[in-house]
Amino acid sequence: MSHPLFIYFLISLSLYSSCTAHRYTFTVKEVPYKKLCSTKKILTVNGQFPGQTLKVYKGDTIYVNVRNRASENITMHWHGVEQPRNPWSDGPEYITQCPIRPGSDFMYEVIFSTEDTTVWWHAHSSWTRATVHGLIFVYPRPPKSLPFPKADHEVPLILGEWWKKDVRDVVELFTRTGGDPNVSDALTINGHPGFLYPCSKSGFTFYNLIPFSIMSTFLIFFFFRFLIFDYNFWIKL
């Protein structure tokens, strides 16, 4: 083996060995949630809405065991992740895999080969992603870093929407009639409709989501999860 090739091999081996494997269990199940003065059951991962924020570095791999304990089929998609030579873990239902049937499990291998950005995971069966979703922070692998000083706080902000009806009923209606989907009943931040909506927590504002303090810096990860909405968002200081 020539010296340059040998050195390249050692560098590649060193970079590979510094990568980390993370393991998660996603249990998909229905959980009752009360919003806008009424309670309904929604699909969740591990009972959370929105779902868990995952944190990895570029080059890492995660293994996610999805346990479907709901009453309908489901898959998981890793939106924005290239998944080179690994399409069977990409998740689109009936495209790269058959759905995970109720009572069944499926192990996903998610390879963060080129990403160093914010991406997201979500269900990929019909409108199940309405409540089954979460963020993934993919950090540059050291010694590289983000192109600005380290922030005091990292804040995920997921802008979404909420229907009083079961989203399956919303899908059934517009599929049957051929019309547009009914507009959602509320817009949300991290699953909260905000105090302007009926029966919402009094005094809930944007500041409840951020540990605000003077002279602190914040790295805010925005994600727009609207299914049928376009929306503008700004921060007024």
Q: Which CATH class is domain 19-146?
A: mainly beta
Residue type, 119: V
Confidence at residue 7, expressed as pLDDT on a 0 to 100 scale: 46
What is the bridge-based pairing of β-strands 186-189 and 153-162? antiparallel
C-beta of residue 36 within 8 angstroms of C-beta of residue 60: no
What is the bridge-based pairing of β-strands 133-139 and 118-123? antiparallel
CA quadruple 92, 97, 102, 107: dihedral, nearest 10 = -100
Tens digits of residue pLDDT in 96-145: 999 999 999 999 999 999 998 899 999 999 889 999 999 999 999 988 98
pLDDT band (50, 70, 90) for residue 182: confident
Residue type, 149: P
pLDDT band (50, 70, 90) for residue 16: very low
When mean pLDDT is compared across 16-30, 55-69, 85-99, 125-139, the lowest value belongs to 16-30
Mean pLDDT, all residues of the chain: 86
What is the average pLDDT across 225-235? 66
- By percentage, how much of the chain surpasses pLDDT 70? 82
Confidence at residue 3, expressed as pLDDT on a 0 to 100 scale: 54
Confidence at residue 126, expressed as pLDDT on a 0 to 100 scale: 87
pLDDT band (50, 70, 90) for residue 19: confident
Tokens 């802008």 correspond to what residue? 159
pTM: 0.84
pLDDT band (50, 70, 90) for residue 236: low
Query: What is the C-alpha to C-alpha distance for residues 170 and 177, in angstroms, rounded to an integer?
Result: 11
Confidence at residue 8, expressed as pLDDT on a 0 to 100 scale: 42
What is the average pLDDT across 211-231? 74
Confidence at residue 9, expressed as pLDDT on a 0 to 100 scale: 43
Positive or negative torsion for Cα 199, 32, 94, 75: positive
pLDDT band (50, 70, 90) for residue 69: very high
pLDDT band (50, 70, 90) for residue 51: very high
| Domain residue spans of the chain | 19-146, 154-224
Nearest to 108 by CA among 73, 67, 136: 67
Nearest to 66 by CA among 111, 109, 130, 30: 109
What is the average pLDDT across 78-97? 92
Residue 201 DSSP one-character state: P
What is the average pLDDT across 42-71? 97
